[in-house]
Amino acid sequence: MLSDDDFQQISKDCDLQQYKLIQEMRSSVDHATDSKMSVLPELELTALLSARSAQDNIALNFLSAGSYNNFLPAIVKAEQQCLDFAKTLSNKAADNVIQNIGNQLSAVAETASWYVFADDYITLLANLLIFCHRESTQFESQAVSKVLIPATVSPVLRQALRSQLKYQDIDLVIVDYDKISGCISLQQLEQFDDENILAVVFGWPNFFGLLEEITLISQWANNRECQLIGLSNPLSLSVLSSPFELTDGKLDYLLGDLQGSGLAVNQSGISASFLASRQAISGELKSYLRSQKYNRKLSFIDAYLSQSGISGLTQSANKSNQNLNLLVEKLCSIDGVSKKFTTTAINECVIEIAQIDIEKALKILAGHNMVFGYLLQHEFPELANCVLIYCSDQHTQSDIEKVVKKVETVVKNLSTAGCPVKPKFNV
């Protein structure tokens, strides 16, 4: 059995400085010999090894619905494995981890003050709304309790938030969206012009992977003197303009999940979260929002950001969107397949496959070890035959061509007796 000293030595062996030293030593060898060798970046090499070893043993997955499975460098995985066996951090060490994550994340929106929490972002949002509701009683004769949240926000979040706010005298009102753009419009907000509103919550991007009209939303919220709260994630923010700048300082809070910042999907569970504000938040609010001090996933996220930084997130997001655009372009070349909304998509995209039994199509694809997106028609009845698809930076061109070819076959043959291959799992 390994001792604590052994684990500390393993952790030291994973240190980035030693990794850089090794790289410098390798660069000093005879370049004439190196030039004869084929060199692949770690991302491409990992993808190649995965393709060769796994083949059809692992399902080809194009489903995300807000949980991202992007590339983690081997050095980060090794460090995370060491952290799995590490002792519980002291309060000072935990504070250092949280502070380091906040400092790293501040690069994606420099105009904001950043705070990191061990709680999941839905709990964080619920506590923030409860705090704002209680604060409103100090300035109004009657507490303002109505919160507007678009239908374009994750249905899981809306359901969980409604449960958490059920006994807090906060009225969660769902705002419908424009069926062409996939985003909420000013007209849909204007129906609440004569009502007192506590807060407006929106996704950046929204659940469909679309960017809301953030300028119009912020102007309306500012005129109504209500709180404006955005939901996002560092992966998206690394390639988008700062929402604080786009709203000219009218955005009050930006919060979200840190899962895509160093955690694989199978590591996520209840992940940590962040809160960014245009102004430093009070100690009272910070204390109210934090229900737990630390969880181990914060160290995992810190390991990733310390090694890869925001540039690693940016590279990952750009590659993912490049793959997504290629997948959507190829899918839309198939008869009967098209993009559902006109707005440009980021991270994920809604695809409509007309005049087929979409659930049967997904089961056939499952039979070929392919998870082709998130079926929307159960939470969004108006989006029948629509699927929310996603690409990560780990998907290869071969993966994309494979799924496109199979989707084309399914669309053409679905009206016949059907594919004889039975699903390996339910969808």
Per-residue pLDDT tens digits for 218-232: 999 999 999 999 999
- pLDDT given at position 37: 55
Return the higher-pLDDT residue of 159 and 112: 159
| Same-domain pairing of 87 and 139 | yes
Give yes or no: residues 210 and 321 share one domain: no
Residue 82 sits in the same domain as residue 141: yes
Q: Are residues 391 and 326 in the same domain?
A: yes
Structural contact between residues 229 and 149, judged by C-beta atoms closer than 8 angstroms: no
Residue 184's pLDDT is 94
Give the CATH number, domain containing residue 203.
Answer: 3.40.640.10
CA–CA separation, 229 vs 298, rounded Å?
23
Which residues contact residue 271 at a Cβ distance below 8 angstroms, ignoring those fewer than 6 apart? 120, 121, 257, 258, 259, 263, 297
Confidence grade of residue 282 (pLDDT, cut at 50, 70, 90)? confident
Question: What pLDDT score does 414 carry?
Answer: 84
Same domain, yes or no, for 299 and 358? no
Closest CA to 402 of 340, 335, 331: 331
Nearest 5°: CA angle at 18, between 17 and 23?
95
Q: Which of 240, 175, 232, 228 is nearest to 204 (CA)?
A: 232
Domain that holds residue 141: 78-309
Residue 358: strand, helix, or coil: helix
Whether residue 263 sits in one domain with residue 138? yes
Q: How far apart (Å, rounded) are the C-alpha atoms in residues 121 and 161? A: 10
Return the pLDDT at 12. 56
Greatest mean pLDDT range, 45-59, 133-147, 185-199: 185-199
The per-residue pLDDT for 426 is 58
Over 80: is that where the pLDDT of 4 sits?
A: no
Checking DSSP bridges between strand 146-150 and strand 199-203, what pairing results, if any? Answer: parallel
C-alpha 26/C-alpha 22 separation (Å) is: 6
Q: Which residue has the tokens 């993966």?
A: 399
**For residue 358, pLDDT beyond 80:** yes
| pLDDT of amino acid 403 | 94
120 and 155 together in one domain: yes
**Cα 11 to Cα 76: distance, rounded to the nearest angstrom:** 11
Q: For residues 161 and 389, what is the distance between their CA atoms, to the nearest angstrom? A: 25
How many Å apart are CA 92 and CA 317, to the nearest integer? 33
CA pair distance 424, 38, nearest whole angstrom: 38
**Is pLDDT of 341 > 90?**
yes
Identify the three-state secondary structure at position 399.
Answer: helix
* Residue 24 located in a structural domain: no
Mean model confidence pLDDT for the chain? 83
Least confident of 23-32, 175-184, 319-328: 23-32
- Coil, helix or strand at residue 317: helix
pLDDT of residue 173: 95
Same domain, 220 and 128: yes
Phi, psi at residue 150, to the nearest 5°?
A: -65, 155
Of 43-47, 97-101, 317-321, the range with the lowest mean pLDDT is 43-47
pLDDT of residue 346: 92
Asked if residue 382 and residue 294 are part of one domain, the reply reads no
291 and 393 in a common domain: no
Residues pairing with 257 in the sheet: 273
